[in-house]
């Protein structure tokens, strides 16, 4: 049979309905036939088990078959209309009431054999089925006596209506959704045919077929994501400048490593080796360096930058905040001040939005002419008017805080090598999905001598004791952070604002201590002044918002106190905790809650039990999903319909299958349907 419409046919031409219903469907992203058939159920009601009326229970969905009688419409004393009836089978009878459905009297009639499915109520010695789903015996069962699909509903769009409109369209599924995966992949991973999976997902014959169908559609989403990422990586390598000089390991680099005041960990050494190997390839590097808070990513990136500078290339390091960028500037500038070993000095400059116009013009000129070797800054580095003469390596810190387009701007500066850093640990399989066009290096080992940070959930009754303990530690010379979630008071959330907390601590709790205040509404110069004083121990306590989440390095700070801890995700709490424990002294993290529910306590207990950011990220991912943790738009995380980004086994299979295609035919010339499918997938799933 040849369908009269295509997947792009407007829905109004494929189903019989009203303009109002079509408008409602459009509000949920459904305009054509393909989008309607991809409007998958959110769950299923199992009414497949027919039982005798005598066995009806009040604690389950009951599906019964019998003969309808005593069908009547009545009006209550409040003026509402009810439909009442009785259903009888060989075991007995049950009363039925339908609320607010007067049309039923026209659809059903006495003596009719019907199937009902719904919940029952026991009252005054009688069992009654309340507003059950109904279908006549002999017709195609869509609403009863099966696994019944339940859809996301909106006003005017019920699951029953959606089922009735989708079902006739499914007979065209094989024409609308041709198989696009190679047969060897389908066979290797034992996948259900694509069109069959669409049909079974809507109206599954059995639970087993439903799971097989959902597995196929989940595989598809992850496979297409991986294929797109790997193809993008291949295309980047093909289109990049081919005349780039390979950046072998410069002779001065090993000598420079010998004078470092510390020894690299095994994980740092492994990551550096991977990066330096990439720098010596024919095509530009595109690598993500992931490392837990305080694991030493900056020194690894710094050594890679130094290698590029020693070869005569320019380098750039971009960070999401001015505080973090300026910290990198001070740290790396100091690191590279060793002309005896390096045999040269480098012109290193700092550039941010607050840089004065005259200085900015000077930096722009220096980068364009090559007199500036290395620039460290914020978003100011990706302005269209800024050009490099010979950019060899670009490093992006906290890359998930930049959009995909923003990251690509640096890539366009003469095809430099690109190294991205992330202190937000992401499970490897998720990183393969989100950043699949990059190779991955992981620093999962802390520098030697680092003491684990003692973490405690502090009940409100112990607050005063905690304050006294903090004051005692500060008297020994240590410093503390106190984090508050909001700047302004919020009666709705009942969270302490950083401003009122600052005044309270200064006036009533620690009147003899110097306390600093840091939040996002301060001017850059004001933030810098506060941080300078805190690092110099002029402030013993720093009260702050989440602006300290990354990039603040004060080795003398050993106490992190977090108000409203349950309002933060585990990954963000771990970032806060990472602001302490950076020196030789034992450090502590105290979690205070405004909502001390059992659920909140159980979630925060993960902070007490686990010191690994990678482990916490896995827990956070399960609890909150990737969008809340990493930012859907910023990370390019797609809005998947079937796949779970926590399904590591499926992600690995999809990656393996996608790589096998890229190895054979990266441009997909021999897979025309698959080539079209990737374009379609971008439009449907990827929002960035």
Q: Kindly report the backbone phi and psi dihedral angles of residue 550, in degrees, each rounded to the nearest multiple of 5, phi listed first.
A: -130, 150
- And the tokens for 306? 């130094």
Q: Which residues of 26-42 are buried (b: 16+ CB within 10 A; e: fewer)?
A: eeeebebbbbbbbbbbe
Beta bridge partners, 393, equal 315, 417
Closest by CA position to 616, among listed 293, 396, 205, 240 = 293
Q: Which residues of 159-172 are buried (b: 16+ CB within 10 A; e: fewer)?
A: bbebbebbeebbeb
User: How confident is the model at residue 404, as a pLDDT?
Assistant: 64
User: How confident is the model at residue 583, as a pLDDT?
Assistant: 80
C-beta atoms surrounding 535 within 10 Å: 18
Q: How far is residue 426's CA from residue 574's CA, in Å, rounded to a whole number?
A: 13
Q: How far is residue 216's CA from residue 210's CA, in Å, rounded to a whole number?
A: 10
Q: How far is residue 50's CA from residue 116's CA, in Å, rounded to a whole number?
A: 9
User: How confident is the model at residue 631, as a pLDDT?
Assistant: 47
Order of strands, sheet of 120-123, starting from the edge strand that comes earlier in the sequence = 120-123, 126-130, 92-99, 81-89, 62-75, 113-118, 133-136
Q: Which residues of 379-407 are buried (b: 16+ CB within 10 A; e: fewer)?
A: bbbbeeebebeebbbbbbbbbbbbeeebb
Residue pair 50/145 in contact (Cβ under 8 Å)? The answer is yes
Q: β-strand 557-562 against 588-591: which pairing, if any? A: parallel
Terminal alpha carbon distance of the chain:
39
| 214: Cα separation from own chain's centroid | 21
Q: How far is residue 479's CA from residue 561's CA, in Å, rounded to a whole number?
A: 11
Q: How far is residue 539's CA from residue 505's CA, in Å, rounded to a whole number?
A: 13
Q: How far is residue 577's CA from residue 607's CA, in Å, rounded to a whole number?
A: 9
Residues 6+ apart with CB under 8 A from 33: 5, 6, 7, 8, 9, 11, 14, 169, 172, 176
C-beta atoms surrounding 158 within 10 Å: 12
Q: How far is residue 126's CA from residue 119's CA, in Å, rounded to a whole number?
A: 14
Q: Kindly report the backbone phi and psi dihedral angles of residue 43, in degrees, each rounded to the nearest multiple of 5, phi listed first.
A: -160, -175
What topology does CATH give the domain 454-610? Rossmann fold (3.40.50)
Q: What's this model's pTM, rounded to 2 decimal places?
A: 0.72
Beta bridge partners, 349, equal 375
Residue pair 279/232 in contact (Cβ under 8 Å)? The answer is no
User: How confident is the model at residue 227, as a pLDDT?
Assistant: 92
- And the tokens for 477? 């010379």
Q: How far is residue 577's CA from residue 548's CA, in Å, rounded to a whole number?
A: 10
User: How confident is the model at residue 686, as a pLDDT?
Assistant: 47
Which pairs from 370-374 meet CB under 8 Å and 24+ separation?
370/314, 371/347, 372/314, 372/347, 372/348, 373/309, 373/314, 373/315, 373/346, 373/347, 373/348, 374/305, 374/309, 374/314, 374/315, 374/316, 374/317, 374/332, 374/346, 374/347, 374/348, 374/349
Q: Where are the domains of the chain?
A: 1-44+159-174, 49-145, 252-281+295-422, 454-610
User: How confident is the model at residue 4, as a pLDDT?
Assistant: 65
State the helix-helix crossing angle for 322-335 and 524-535, rounded to 10 degrees. 50
Beta bridge partners, 44, equal 149
Q: How far is residue 380's CA from residue 382's CA, in Å, rounded to a whole number?
A: 6
Residue pair 562/600 in contact (Cβ under 8 Å)? The answer is no
Q: How many CA atoms lie within 13 A of 393 on its CB side?
A: 30
CATH architecture of 252-281+295-422: 3-Layer(aba) Sandwich (3.40)
DSSP assignments along 55-102, one per residue: G--TTS-EEEEEEEEEEEEEE-TTS-EEEEEEEEETTEEEEEEEES-T
Closest by CA position to 279, among listed 390, 418, 408, 432 = 418
Which residues of the chain have a pLDDT value below 70? 1-4, 239-245, 339, 400, 403-405, 407, 486-496, 549-552, 624-639, 681-688
- Residues listed for the chain: 688
Structure letter (DSSP) for residue 566:
G
Structure letter (DSSP) for residue 243:
T
User: How confident is the model at residue 429, as a pLDDT?
Assistant: 72
Residues 6+ apart with CB under 8 A from 507: none
- And the tokens for 517? 């205040």
Are 252-281+295-422 and 454-610 equal in CATH topology? yes
- And the tokens for 80? 């509402």
Name the 3-class secondary structure at 677. Answer: helix
Q: How many CA atoms lie within 13 A of 551 on its CB side?
A: 23
What topology does CATH give the domain 49-145? OB fold (Dihydrolipoamide Acetyltransferase, E2P) (2.40.50)
């Amino acid at each position: 049979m040849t369908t009269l419409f295509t997947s792009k046919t407007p829905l109004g031409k494929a189903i019989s309905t009203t303009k109002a219903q079509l408008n409602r469907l459009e509000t949920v992203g459904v305009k054509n036939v393909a989008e309607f058939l991809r409007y998958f159920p959110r769950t299923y009601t199992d009414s497949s088990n027919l039982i005798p009326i005598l066995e009806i229970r009040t604690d389950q969905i009951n599906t019964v078959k019998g003969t309808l009688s005593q069908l009547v419409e009545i009006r209550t004393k409040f003026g509402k209309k009810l439909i009442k009836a009785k259903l009888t089978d060989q075991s007995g009878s049950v009363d039925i009431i339908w609320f607010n459905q007067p049309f039923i009297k026209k659809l059903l009639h006495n003596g009719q054999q019907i199937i009902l499915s719904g919940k029952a109520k026991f009252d005054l010695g009688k069992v009654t089925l309340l507003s059950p789903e109904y279908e006549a015996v002999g017709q195609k069962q869509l609403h009863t006596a099966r696994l019944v699909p339940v859809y996301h509903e909106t006003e005017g769009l019920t699951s029953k209506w959606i089922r009735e409109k989708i079902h006739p369209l499914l007979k065209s599924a094989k024409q609308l959704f041709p198989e696009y995966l190679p047969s060897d992949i389908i066979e290797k991973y034992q996948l259900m045919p694509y069109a069959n999976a669409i049909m079974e997902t809507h109206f599954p014959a059995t639970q087993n077929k439903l799971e097989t169908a959902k597995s196929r559609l989940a595989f598809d989403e992850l496979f297409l994501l991986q294929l797109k990422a790997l193809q993008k990586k291949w295309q980047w390598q093909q289109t990049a400048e081919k005349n780039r000089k390979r950046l072998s390991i410069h002779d001065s680099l090993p000598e420079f490593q010998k004078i470092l005041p510390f020894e690299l960990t095994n994980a740092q050494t492994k990551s550096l080796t991977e990066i330096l190997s990439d720098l010596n390839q024919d095509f530009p590097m595109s690598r993500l360096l992931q490392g837990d808070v305080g694991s030493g990513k900056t020194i690894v990136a710094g050594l890679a930058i130094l290698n590029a500078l020693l070869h005569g290339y320019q380098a750039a390091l971009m960070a999401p905040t001015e505080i973090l960028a300026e910290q990198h500037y001070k740290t790396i500038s100091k690191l590279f001040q060793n002309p005896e070993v390096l045999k040269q000095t480098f012109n290193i400059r700092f550039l941010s939005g607050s840089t004065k116009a005259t200085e900015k013009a000077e930096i722009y000129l220096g980068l364009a002419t090559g007199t500036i070797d290395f620039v460290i800054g914020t978003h100011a580095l990706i302005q269209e008017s800024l050009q490099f003469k010979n950019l060899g390596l670009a490093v992006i810190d906290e890359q998930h805080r930049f959009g995909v387009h923003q990251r690509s701007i640096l890539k366009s500066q003469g095809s430099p090598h690109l190294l991205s850093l992330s202190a937000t640990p992401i499970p490897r399989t998720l990183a393969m999905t989100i950043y699949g066009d990059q190779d991955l290096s992981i620093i999962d080992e802390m520098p030697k001598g680092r003491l684990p940070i003692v973490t405690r959930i502090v009940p409100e009754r112990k607050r005063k004791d905690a304050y006294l303990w903090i004051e005692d530690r500060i008297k020994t010379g240590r410093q503390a952070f106190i984090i508050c979630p909001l700047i302004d008071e919020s009666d709705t959330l009942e969270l302490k604002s950083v401003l009122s907390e600052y005044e309270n601590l200064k006036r009533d709790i620690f009147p003899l201590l110097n306390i600093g205040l840091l939040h996002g509404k301060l001017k850059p110069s004001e933030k810098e002044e506060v941080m300078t004083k805190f690092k110099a121990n002029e402030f013993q306590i720093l009260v702050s918002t989440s602006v300290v989440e990354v990039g603040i390095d004060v080795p003398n700070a050993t106490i992190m106190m977090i108000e409203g801890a349950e309002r933060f995700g585990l990954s963000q709490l771990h970032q806060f905790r990472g602001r302490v424990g950076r020196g030789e002294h034992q450090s502590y993290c105290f979690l205070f809650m405004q909502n001390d529910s059992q659920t909140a306590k159980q979630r925060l207990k993960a902070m007490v039990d686990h010191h690994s950011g990678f482990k916490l990220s896995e827990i956070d991912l399960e609890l909150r999903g990737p969008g809340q943790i990493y930012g859907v738009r910023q990370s390019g995380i797609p809005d998947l319909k079937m796949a779970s980004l926590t399904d590591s086994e499926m992600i690995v299979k999809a990656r393996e299958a996608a790589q096998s295609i890229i190895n054979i035919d990266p441009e997909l010339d021999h897979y025309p349907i698959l080539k079209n499918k990737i374009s379609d997938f971008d439009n449907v799933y990827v929002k960035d």
